[in-house]
Chain A
Amino acid sequence: MICKDFEKLIHLYLDQKLDEQKKKEVEKHLEECQKCRERFEALKLVEEKAKGIKIPEPGDAYWESFSQRVRERIASKQKQPFGVKVKDFFATIFVLSPSRLKVAAAVASLVLVFIIGKLYIDYKGTIPERLKPVERETPVVEGPKTEKEKPAPAPQKPAPKTEKKGVVEQKGPRIKEEVTNEVEKPTPPIQPESKEVAAGAGAEPMAKKAVTRDIAKKGPVAGALEQEVARPVEMPEAPKAAMRAMADVEKKKTKPESKIMGEHTLDKITLQETHKYLFADSIEILDVDYHHEHLNADSLRVIIDFWKKFIQDNPDDPAVEYIYLQIAAAYYYSFDKTKDEAIREQGIKEIEQFLKISQKEEIKEELIKRVEKLKGLKEK
């Protein structure tokens, strides 16, 4: 027998579990190998010494009362409410141990990550797409611009009514001031220079850039006006490119594809913006008035024609329903300003047609109001 074999049998030999033959082999090896003999003696000594460790005896009184205490404990256990029993049961099951702690920590981490993730997703989901910051204006605003170029301060419209309207209403005051400054002039098309003078800016040719910038920020109405008023103005190439890039980005953001882009004569940025608001259902119905009430009859005509052609070309566009409202409002204000009976009748006729094909209740309600208003104007 070699030492390695002895190592395997040393404990069994100590516990006297070896058969006679193996026992003899081990004993023979112990006689021959001093190292193994010392190891065995040490092992035996530890066990003998361990056996020698005695424990304190609690005394007879303790033992006599032991069974009594057990009985009392059993009785109290039996009276325990169910909740305590369940608690005790779980206390014995969930005894802390390193492995269990590791598992518990891993599970807790996963749960935490899940909760944080869910909270984040929920939070993100509460911000409507249309209320998220619009980045397209930045490059235009940051274009080459000096103090001179800034348009003169104009009388401000009342502040926006609600938060929801935030994006739309940003355009409101601008449109208004441009219209009052530019359109209400009775004489031939106003040149950019004269516009700046009228606005009290006192600055000069930089008006070109100012107009360009404003085009990008106006709604369809303002866009129509720009087409009329600022036709001779040529956009600088850089802002144009920037606007084109922004328009592409916005187009991607808009859910279904619309054919509105680039098919009409109006500035594509303004059209695209208007279309986005229309489509996003974010347009406040009252804003229709806000956009149209300051326009002259010719501008309103441009708008009516534009949207009618758009509907004709894109009957399935998701914004069509809202475009009915645009047309209805344009007819209303057009008649209000011209008092042309033909316009009024045509408006009533077309709005009633829209009413027949409109699917949205809110649109129908507004169209009915508009028809009634038009009819009411006649009665007056």
Chain B
Amino acid sequence: MVEPKQELEPLEVERELIRKAKQGNLYSFEQLVKKYQKKMYRLAFRMTKNHDSADDLAQETFVKAFTSIRSFKEEYKFYPWICRICMNLSINYLKRKKFTVSESELEPYKLEDKKATGDPMSQLIKDELMDRIERSIDKLPPPFKVVFILKVYEDLSYEQIAKSLNISVGTVMSRLFRARERLQKSLKDYL
């Protein structure tokens, strides 16, 4: 989980790096990559549920950011901009994935915190619920899924999400509420 406080690093440093990257300085851009790489990877992973795809999408996000950094306006924040690139790539990936699914993508990844603690029965039920929630999130339509992930995992405000996805706050709210409703509906038997 990423703390929003991390974004409050001195903006001037970031702006300077962006300015240099705009001039073609790859070293400066690498500093930006290092700063946001984990966020991008996690976002991509949340969307794709696959390490290889997440890795590819995260890298591609930075490649795209570098090739079009000249169009970035310095008065805005870098994170929402790069987040939008990552989300758009992820959405496109998910749409394509509907038609082509590789073998590695079919393998479910293992949750890290599935170590048994306490009562094995209650742990089993908990695991099943978590698995079910995860699957339900995965089944959300990409536009809903993006908003839900940005709100829940990135803890972004409505306005930040709207800015990141270049949509209105109303659309953000609508998509978020509908995503929640769907999740609740699909988990009705487990709650």
Contacting A at CB under 8 A, from B87-125, are: 92, 95-96, 98-99, 109-113
The answer, yes or no, to whether A22 is at the interface (CB within 8 Å) is no
State how many angstroms separate the Cβ of B63 from the closest Cβ of chain A.
5
When A and B form their complex, what is the total count of cross-chain residue pairs whose Cβ atoms lie within 8 Å? 99
Q: When chains A and B are docked, how far (Å) is the Cα of A63 from the Cα of B42?
A: 12
Q: When chains A and B are docked, how far (Å) is the Cα of A73 from the Cα of B46?
A: 23
Q: Which residues of A contact B191 (CB under 8 A)?
A: 42, 45-46
Q: When chains A and B are docked, how far (Å) is the Cα of A69 from the Cα of B52?
A: 14
A47-B110 in contact given A67-B37, A95-B92 (Cβ < 8 Å): no
Looking at B46, B129, B133, B176, the one whose CB has the most chain A CB atoms below 10 A away is: B133
The answer, yes or no, to whether B22 is at the interface (CB within 8 Å) is no
Q: What 1/0 mask marks residues of chain B from 151 to 191 whose CB sits below 8 Å from any chain A CB?
A: 11100001000000000000001001100100110010001
Q: Which residues of B contact A51 (CB under 8 A)?
A: 1, 152-153
Q: Which residues of B contact A45 (CB under 8 A)?
A: 191
User: What is the interface size of chain B, counting residues whose CB is below 8 A from a CB of the partner?
Assistant: 48
Q: Which residues of B contact A15 (CB under 8 A)?
A: 151, 158
Q: Which residues of A contact B60 (CB under 8 A)?
A: 73
Q: Which residues of A contact B26 (CB under 8 A)?
A: 71, 74
The answer, yes or no, to whether B62 is at the interface (CB within 8 Å) is yes
State how many angstroms separate the Cβ of A34 from the closest Cβ of chain B.
15
Q: Which residues of A contact B183 (CB under 8 A)?
A: 46, 50
Q: Are B63 and A77 in contact (CB under 8 A)?
A: yes
- Listed in ascending order, the chain A residues whose CB lies under 8 Å from chain B are 11-12, 14-15, 17, 42-43, 45-47, 49-58, 62-63, 66-67, 69-71, 73-74, 77, 92, 95-97
Q: When chains A and B are docked, how far (Å) is the Cα of A326 from the Cα of B42?
A: 94
Q: Are A56 and B59 in contact (CB under 8 A)?
A: no
A74-B66 in contact given A46-B184, A47-B180, A97-B95 (Cβ < 8 Å): yes
- Listed in ascending order, the chain B residues whose CB lies under 8 Å from chain A are 1, 26, 30, 33-34, 37-38, 41-42, 45-46, 51, 55, 58-60, 62-63, 66-67, 92, 95-96, 98-99, 109-113, 129-130, 133-134, 137, 148, 151-153, 158, 173, 176-177, 180, 183-184, 187, 191
A54-B111 in contact given A69-B59, A70-B62, A96-B96 (Cβ < 8 Å): yes
Partner of B129, one of A43, A49, A67, A92: A49
State how many angstroms separate the Cβ of B152 from the closest Cβ of chain A.
5
Known: A70-B63, A71-B30. 15 other contacts (CB 8 A): A11-B176, A11-B180, A42-B187, A46-B184, A46-B187, A47-B180, A50-B148, A54-B113, A56-B112, A66-B33, A66-B34, A66-B41, A70-B66, A73-B59, A95-B92
Q: Which residues of A contact B176 (CB under 8 A)?
A: 11
Q: Are A95 and B63 in contact (CB under 8 A)?
A: no
Q: Are B109 and A53 in contact (CB under 8 A)?
A: no
Q: Which residues of A contact B184 (CB under 8 A)?
A: 42-43, 46
Q: Are A50 and B137 in contact (CB under 8 A)?
A: yes
Q: Which residues of B contact A53 (CB under 8 A)?
A: 111, 130, 133-134, 137
Q: Which residues of A contact B58 (CB under 8 A)?
A: 66
State how many angstroms separate the Cβ of A254 from the closest Cβ of chain B.
60
Q: When chains A and B are docked, how far (Å) is the Cα of A56 from the Cα of B45?
A: 9
Q: Which residues of A contact B66 (CB under 8 A)?
A: 70, 74
Q: Which residues of B contact A14 (CB under 8 A)?
A: 180
State how many angstroms separate the Cβ of A165 from the closest Cβ of chain B.
59
Partner of B33, one of A56, A67, A96: A67
Q: Are B37 and A46 in contact (CB under 8 A)?
A: no
Q: Are A50 and B133 in contact (CB under 8 A)?
A: yes
Q: When chains A and B are docked, how far (Å) is the Cα of A300 from the Cα of B42?
A: 103
Q: Which residues of B contact A46 (CB under 8 A)?
A: 133, 180, 183-184, 187, 191
Q: Which residues of A contact B151 (CB under 8 A)?
A: 15
5 contacts between A and B (CB under 8 A): A15-B151, A47-B180, A50-B133, A53-B134, A74-B67
Q: Which residues of B contact A96 (CB under 8 A)?
A: 95-96, 98-99
Q: Are A43 and B180 in contact (CB under 8 A)?
A: yes
Q: When chains A and B are docked, how far (Å) is the Cα of A63 from the Cα of B191?
A: 38
